[in-house]
């Protein structure tokens, strides 16, 4: 296997990328509840590492505009969005029928600020897609996003709103074809389902398969109708390591890029596929996980990076910090700088952690069979599909600070970004002001030749099985 992101090449892939990073300082305050595995605090920990490693000063730092009802309803059902907006911990006992209908309760609890949380993380992914569409950056990052299980009419697997689908719909306003790649340990079922019958979005998910949430993602699930062969699933077993993972990832994604030729890529970087995850059972190192980012980055296609699962939160922060460096083309030191969450990373206080000695249950023969079967599917795609636009929807308009009046090389001071965000003052001549993405305008839907996100035709109810417990979700 090639060395991971710790040794970025000096060739074409070594060229610096313009990166826009979306972060809301409030996101770490949301709390799913005592004992729940999903902890938004990990986003704040990641941000602290980015600040103290000095990476923020190499990116444009943006506070996302919260997604509005009508933005969320571009994919989600109106009554579901209305429910999310209205439900509170105090009123949930009066709404038991709706809680059951929308699958909100145990794995997806009602907590204070739930709807604002959804608006925040969805706003980051839509804002990132918009920034890419406008040519404002080469790579957009929203680590708060990546909640890939949410469905049109229900919550699932700790996910309420599917920010990925909403981001892809924004990208489709400009790009004829969008590729979605998912390296979370759980199958990216919500995104696959949304685009299962269209050739304008190809989905590729690498995941644990077999008696594991959500129970979908068989290698035989390849799309339907116009979408046949545009959904690919890579089913894996426990203990897969870096070398085995890349023996599938690079040839499959390389062939996808060759035959599909996407105009933009969305990469879901769920960190529960790392070794030692609280809910996971893979054995990837941070470098091996980040190699997926580096490989996709090397194609020089507009790229949206989003988060996802990850429940050993110190390792989630390590991973997404390192992958931000890979996106920027900057190698960060293994020795961690002092910061407010430093004690989380003892006793070694290093960025990287060694994978374990767990057994890799993915035999060479199994991996070869998976790779050959998926490459065979891809061989059935004669050429990249071409979509005829009847009329392109208008770009979402976001007002920002006039950057033409700023020094283009100005960036955040890493220390100032950790101060109280409301009281933050820019440092003249050196610090880029944090832009608050303003209210999008002119979002009325316009007809275009795109299959609407649809319910998977062959949907079974595996993801509704009775063993959907908190310790099985992402």
Distance CA 78, CA 112 (A): 21
For 425-453, what is each residue's pLDDT tens digit?
333 332 333 344 444 433 333 323 344 44
Which of 149, 175, 187, 289 does the annotation list as catalytic?
A: 149
Q: Is 186 among the annotated ligand-binding positions?
A: yes
**DSSP 8-state class, residue 4:** -
In this prediction, residue 388 has a pLDDT band, given cuts at 50, 70 and 90, of: low
Rounded to the nearest 5 degrees, what angle is found at the Cα of 106, between the Cα atoms of 101 and 110?
Answer: 75
| Strand, coil or helix: 71 | helix
For 85-121, what is each residue's pLDDT tens digit?
999 999 999 999 999 999 999 899 999 999 999 999 9
- Cis preceding linkage at 208, omega within 30: no
In this prediction, residue 16 has a pLDDT band, given cuts at 50, 70 and 90, of: confident
- How far, rounded to the nearest angstrom, does the alpha carbon of residue 64 sit from its chain's CA centroid? 15
Predicted model pTM: 0.82
Using alpha carbons, list the distances in angstroms from residue 129 to 266, 294, 304, 379.
9, 19, 7, 30
Averaged pLDDT for residues 254-267: 98
pLDDT of residue 66: 98
Is 179's pLDDT higher than 80? yes
Q: Is 280 among the annotated ligand-binding positions?
A: no
Averaged pLDDT for residues 307-311: 98
Q: Is 272 among the annotated ligand-binding positions?
A: yes
Q: Which of 348, 287, 413, 339 is nearest to 45 (CA)?
A: 339
Mean pLDDT score across all residues of the chain? 85
Q: DSSP letter string over 383-449?
A: S---PPPSSPPPPPB-----GGGS-TT----TTGGGS-GGG--PPTTT-PPPEE----B-------S
pLDDT of residue 181: 98
pLDDT of residue 391: 57
Laid out side by side, the sheet with 60-63 consists of: 231-236, 201-208, 178-182, 264-268, 303-306, 139-142, 19-22, 60-63, 435-436
Is residue 47 annotated as a catalytic residue, yes or no?
no
Place of tokens 């969305």: 266
Is 274's pLDDT higher than 60? yes
For 121-154, what is each residue's pLDDT tens digit?
999 999 999 999 999 999 999 999 999 999 999 9
Is 37's pLDDT higher than 90? yes
In this prediction, residue 386 has a pLDDT band, given cuts at 50, 70 and 90, of: low
Q: Is 160 among the annotated ligand-binding positions?
A: no
Q: Is 190 among the annotated ligand-binding positions?
A: no
pLDDT of residue 390: 52
More confident position, 379 or 399? 379
Q: Is 429 among the annotated ligand-binding positions?
A: no
Is 230's pLDDT higher than 70? yes
Distance CA 241, CA 220 (A): 24
Using alpha carbons, list the distances in angstroms from residue 219 to 147, 204, 206, 229, 269.
22, 11, 10, 11, 21
Averaged pLDDT for residues 227-239: 98
């Amino acid at each position: 296997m090639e060395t991971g992101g710790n040794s970025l090449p000096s060739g074409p892939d070594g060229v610096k990328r313009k990166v826009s990073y979306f972060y809301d300082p409030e996101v770490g305050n949301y709390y799913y509840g005592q004992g729940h595995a999903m902890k938004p605090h990990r986003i704040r920990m990641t941000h602290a590492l980015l600040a103290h490693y000095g990476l923020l000063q190499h990116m444009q730092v943006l506070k996302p505009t919260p997604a509005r009802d009508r933005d969320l309803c571009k994919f989600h059902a109106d009554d579901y969005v209305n429910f999310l907006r209205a439900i509170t911990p105090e009123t949930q006992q009066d709404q038991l029928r709706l809680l059951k209908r929308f699958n909100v309760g145990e794995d997806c609890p009602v907590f204070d600020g739930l709807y604002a949380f959804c608006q925040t993380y969805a706003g980051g992914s839509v804002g990132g897609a918009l920034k890419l569409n406008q040519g404002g950056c080469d790579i957009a990052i929203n680590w708060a996003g990546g909640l890939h299980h949410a469905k049109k009419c229900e919550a699932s697997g700790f996910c309420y709103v599917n920010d990925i689908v909403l981001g892809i719909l924004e990208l489709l306003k400009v790009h004829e074809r969008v590729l979605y790649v998912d390296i979370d340990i759980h199958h990216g079922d919500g995104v696959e389902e949304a685009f299962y019958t269209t050739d304008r979005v190809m989905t590729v998910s690498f995941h644990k398969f077999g008696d594991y949430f959500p129970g979908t993602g068989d290698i035989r699930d390849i799309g339907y109708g116009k979408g046949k062969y545009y959904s690919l699933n890579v089913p894996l077993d426990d203990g897969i390591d870096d070398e085995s993972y890349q023996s599938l990832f690079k040839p499959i994604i390389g062939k996808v890029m060759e035959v599909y030729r996407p105009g933009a890529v969305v990469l879901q970087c769920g960190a529960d596929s790392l070794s030692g995850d609280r809910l996971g059972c893979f054995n990837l190192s941070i470098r091996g996980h980040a190699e997926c980012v580096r490989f996709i980055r090397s194609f020089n296609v507009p790229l949206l990076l989003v988060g996802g699962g990850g429940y050993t939160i110190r390792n989630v922060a390590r991973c997404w910090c390192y992958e931000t460096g890979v996106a920027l083309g900057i190698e960060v030191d293994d020795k961690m700088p002092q910061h407010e969450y430093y004690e989380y990373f003892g006793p070694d206080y290093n960025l990287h952690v060694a994978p374990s000695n767990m057994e890799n249950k993915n035999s060479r023969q199994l991996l070869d069979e998976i790779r050959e079967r998926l490459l065979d599917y891809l061989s059935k795609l004669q050429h990249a599909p071409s979509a005829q636009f009847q009329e392109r929807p208008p770009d979402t308009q976001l007002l920002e600070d006039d950057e033409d009046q700023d020094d283009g090389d100005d960036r955040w001071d890493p220390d100032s970004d950790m101060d109280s965000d409301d009281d933050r003052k820019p440092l003249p001549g050196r610090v880029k002001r944090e832009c608050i993405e303003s209210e999008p305008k002119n979002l009325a839907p316009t007809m275009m030749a795109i299959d609407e996100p649809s319910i998977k035709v062959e949907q079974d109810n595996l993801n509704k099985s009775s063993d959907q417990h908190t310790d099985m979700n992402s």
